[in-house]
Structure 1
């Protein structure tokens, strides 16, 4: 886990140093990896947070410190939220979305009127305990006017996939393995179709089934079910076990992000703490999954109890 170094109070910086994005490094990881990345932040927080019955969020501290923490959260979100439950929900969802796309979400810390966080691409970013280096691709150097951008470590906040879910390197490995079968059909078969030739020994249905099994094995730590709720690949028990494991993974990531946010507040000397309650914890979900395994809770009841 990468920690933010202590930030001196004297630093006041309003301009951003980092390169926000590198258009030349866009890549297509295929439908499997794309679905996986999009599903992770989906419902990690209640969708209608304002009206969610059990979910609650609050910031503990003096009025001034609460205002500073609120301003920081607002810099993370896309919409101007006035409701604190919605603001905290949006901030955690936005961070989870950025983490899911690459396994690491870096933010530059800047001081304008208040402390602000600005996200930027994690591609070509090299992190050390004291200094971070962005290696700008050759084709993007004209836009950013730099080949290398040096940023003091204290000016960055980096959130990574927690170790319980494989960490940054483990997550990158999952994305690489999912990208192995980025094409729906194998290239040799597409070429045969273009030539109007068919190989009677190639079974496309069986090929797709093997790819689906492979994707399930690659993501078994996360419990991702590939949006497949059919009985073709799953027994009822296996499906619910997988769904509950994915909910555990989401809850683990949610609590990790909340912990990192509170550490950031402390390191920025904002004397406030974000508290979230009323959502299933990873321990709750694992306990519920065990009860389901031993037959003490029905599948439908277990699913209902872990939903947010």
Structure 2
């Protein structure tokens, strides 16, 4: 019934509706469930992008048995089972963001381990998987710089650990990636044209990732460069003509390096100048123009009508 646990019949319906191309919101509406329930169900029980209703039902039954309070006289649940349940739940959430399920499970195990970390054998025993699966997941996490390794004292094995600053490094990596996506999307507007369907989509994408990058990059150095960048924008607006970096530095009474850093900040973080954008005018000069992605084609036509 709506609001209760999903049944095997519910899960078979979900699989059929997914094959028909229905979205999570529509599936949730048909079953009388929140969209989040459907998205978690699919993320938790998908293999190679395919939702498996039979596997989902077996897993649900297993979880229900594991969570059942012990009857009088029964021993309490083993601590390892409690940990494994948490690992599976947390890993399912991480898998929904795009991280492979096994990699996510290994990551959560290391995240919840003590300062000494875990060996590959520890991970195999805890997750009940093959050494090859653990090795592949460790390789993926090391490539993302989320996991480190060090010798195991008193043995020939290696221990895998997660540093306390892992979130900062992951945050910084995402910030750089988001900024690059925004820059490429804005470049695509010039290729396809701002009035095309592709240009409109790229403009929306560029705004989104540009704002995300700006919000995530909160370092003091970035704030100082951003303040100088706004001064450069004001100077270019006031000049009403393209200026060279040396001219900007002289006019603002800055060292040349400071002007170069401010112009570079505008190139790397275009959202600073929103709704204007830095434009290379040739011969080593720069100016500012209205961002082509700030107004939709319809809005530009409406403004042009007043000209």
Question: TM-score when scaled to structure 1?
Answer: 0.24
Question: TM-score when scaled to structure 2?
Answer: 0.24
Greater helix share, structure number: 2
Larger Rg: 2
Tell me: higher relative CO, structure 1 or 2? Use CA pairs within 8 A at least 6 residues apart: 1
